[in-house]
Amino acid sequence: MTDNYEVRDVIDKETLSTVKSVGDAYKYGFSTDIETEYAPLGLNEDIVKLISKKNNEPKWMLDWRLKAFNRWKKLKQPDWALLKIPEIDFQDQYYYARPANMKEKPKSLDEVDPKLLETYSKLGIPLTEQKKLAGVIEENPEDKSENRKVAVDAVFDSVSVGTTFKEELKSVGVIFCSISEAIKEYPDLVKKYLGSVVPISDNFFACLNAAVFSDGSFVYIPKGVRCPMELSTYFRINAENTGQFERTLIIADDNSYVSYLEGCTAPQRDESQLHAAVVELVILDQAEIKYSTVQNWFPGDENGVGGIYNFVTKRADCRGKNSKVMWTQVETGSAITWKYPSCVLKGDNSSGEFYSIAITNNMQQADTGTKMIHLGKNTNSRIVSKGISAGKAQNTYRGLVQIGGRSQNSRNFTQCDSLLIGNKCGAHTVPYIEVNNSTARAEHEATTSKVDEDQLFYCMQRGIGEEDAVALIVNGFCKEVLQALPMEFAMEAQKLVAISLEGSVG
C-alpha cells in the first residue's frame, strides 16, 4: 500500500468532522466594521477618472479605461445563459470602496490595520510569513506539506492590502504584487500583456471590468524559473452595495512554471452584490500554469435573498509551443455564477485542461463551463465537469470545443457528469462542438444521476450519519476534480462540498 490514499483519508475524515462542527451554513458571513471610503454612487466618466486617480495611475492607463468605458456604454448585457438574472441597476452601485486608512498604502504588513489582519485570520488566511495558508492539517504531523509556503495577495473590497513573501520571490526574479502596483512599477510588462488575452470589449462584463477594475494581482515568472512556492490571491468583499472588479494578469515566460490559487468570500447580506472579474493568463514556450479557484462568495439565503452575482471572464492564452494550462475550479458560492474559464491553444502541442465542480443548493443558479479553442497543431484538451444540484437550484454546464482548420491531429475529451439531490433541482448540459479539421477528434461523454438511496442506506447501515454519507458520496463523485487541486485547496474544497450541501437531505 502506498501513502497516497492514507493522506486523502485524513482529508475526508476532516471533512466529516468539519461538517459537524460548523453550526452556521456559511461561516464566512461576518462583516468587518471598518471605516470605508466610497466613490460617489453610480458610474460615469468621472468615476472612471476617480478610480484611476486613487491608484495614481499613469495617463496611458486612464486612456485605456476610458476607451473601455465608452465601448461598454454601447454593449448589452448578455442573455443567452440559462439564468434568471434580476435586473441590475448599474447606476445604483458603488464602484470603489477602500478602508479609509488604506489611503497611504502600507509599506509592509506591519503597517496594515490590525482589524484587516484579524479579518483575514478569521477567514483562515494568515497575512504573515511564518504561517501557511489555512486548512493545512495540524493534526497530521507526518504531513509533508508542513514546510510548504504559500504567498498571499489579499484584496479587500477595491484594494490590495498586502502581499506576503514578496522579497523571497523577488530573489528568484518572480514578480508577485497587486496589479495597481505593477501598473506603476512594471509598465512595460503590463502594457504588453494587459488586454491581450481578454480584449477590452470582449464581452459586457469584461468591458465593464476594464473600465472600473480597482485592483487585483499581477504575476510574472521569468524564463526558466519554477516558482518556488504556491501563489494565491484572496478576495474579500466587505463594503455594502459595492461591486468588486478585480483583474488578474499572470505571465509565464518560456520554460517556467507556477501554481496559483484564488479564494473568495463575502459577508452575509440581504442585498445582492455584483462581482465582475477578469483573469488573463499568458503562457509562453514550454511554460505551464496551474490555476485553481475555490469560489465561496455568499450564496444568498435559502429563500434566495442576497448573495453575490458572479460574472467572470477567465481565459488562458497558450501562445508558446508545448505550453500547458490547467484550470481547476470549485464553485460553491454566489447566487448567480456566469463563468467559463477558457483555453486558447495557439502554440503547437499546447494543451489545456479544465476540471470543475459546481455545486448549487437552495435557490442558487450556475451557468458555467469552458471553451477550448484549438488553433495550433497537435493540441490537446480535456474537460472534466461535475455539477451537483440540490434544493431548488439550477446548474448548467456550457462548453465549447472548437478545432480550427489548421489544427492538425488535435484532440479533445469531455466528460460531464451531473448529480441531483432531491427532485426540485435541475441539471443541464449544453455542449457546442465545432470540428473543422478531419484529422481532429472530439469525444463527449455525459451522465446525469441521483444520489442513490441504496448508497445512502449502505453507508448508514455501516454507522455513517445521513449528512456525512451525502458528503462522502458527493466527494466520491467529485474525486477526479478534487485530486487536481493542490493539497491545501483539496482539503478546503472537500469541507466546502460538505458544508454547501448541508440541509439538502432529510
Q: Which of 366, 333, 40, 368 is nearest to 212 (CA)?
A: 40
| Stretch near another protein under the rule CB under 8 A, chosen from 41-49, 84-92, 354-362, 451-459 | 451-459
Among 242, 364, 475, 504, binds another protein (CB under 8 A): 475
Decide if residue 479 touches another protein (CB under 8 A). Answer: yes
| Stretch near another protein under the rule CB under 8 A, chosen from 6-14, 191-199, 268-276, 430-438 | 6-14
Length of the chain: 506
Contacts (Cβ under 8 Å, ≥6 apart) of 162: 106, 108, 109, 112, 127, 153, 154
**Which amino acid, residue 491?**
M
Q: Which is nearer to another protein, 7 or 433 (CB)?
A: 7
The span from the CA of 27 to the CA of 418, in Å, is 26
Among 33, 457, 487, 489, binds another protein (CB under 8 A): 457
| Stretch near another protein under the rule CB under 8 A, chosen from 4-12, 190-198, 344-352, 421-429 | 4-12
Among 12, 14, 331, 502, binds another protein (CB under 8 A): 12
Q: Which is nearer to another protein, 117 or 419 (CB)?
A: 419
Decide if residue 10 touches another protein (CB under 8 A). Answer: yes
Decide if residue 455 touches another protein (CB under 8 A). Answer: yes
The span from the CA of 337 to the CA of 299, in Å, is 10
Decide if residue 464 touches another protein (CB under 8 A). Answer: yes
Decide if residue 454 touches another protein (CB under 8 A). Answer: yes
Q: How many CB atoms lie within 10 A of CB 469?
A: 22
The span from the CA of 483 to the CA of 486, in Å, is 8
DSSP state of 461: H
Among 45, 46, 118, 466, binds another protein (CB under 8 A): 466
Decide if residue 477 touches another protein (CB under 8 A). Answer: yes
Task: Confirm if 335 and 304 have CB atoms less than 8 A apart.
Answer: yes
DSSP state of 14: H
Biggest CA pair distance of the chain: 68
| Stretch near another protein under the rule CB under 8 A, chosen from 214-222, 295-303, 331-339, 470-478 | 470-478
Decide if residue 146 touches another protein (CB under 8 A). Answer: no
Among 73, 450, 458, 503, binds another protein (CB under 8 A): 458
Decide if residue 60 touches another protein (CB under 8 A). Answer: no
Task: Confirm if 236 and 119 have CB atoms less than 8 A apart.
Answer: yes
CB of 417 to another protein, least distance (A): 10
Q: Which is nearer to another protein, 53 or 479 (CB)?
A: 479
How are the residues of the chain apportioned to helix, strand and coil, as percentages rounded to the nearest 5? 25, 35, 40
Name the strand (E) or helix (H) holding 211: helix 204-212
The span from the CA of 308 to the CA of 274, in Å, is 6
Name the strand (E) or helix (H) holding 456: helix 453-461
Cell of 362: 437552495
Among 35, 104, 110, 453, binds another protein (CB under 8 A): 453
Among 276, 473, 490, 498, binds another protein (CB under 8 A): 473
Decide if residue 74 touches another protein (CB under 8 A). Answer: no
Among 317, 468, 488, 492, binds another protein (CB under 8 A): 468
Which residue ranges make up the site for another protein (CB under 8 A)? 1, 5-6, 8-10, 12-13, 16, 452-455, 457-466, 468, 472-473, 475-480
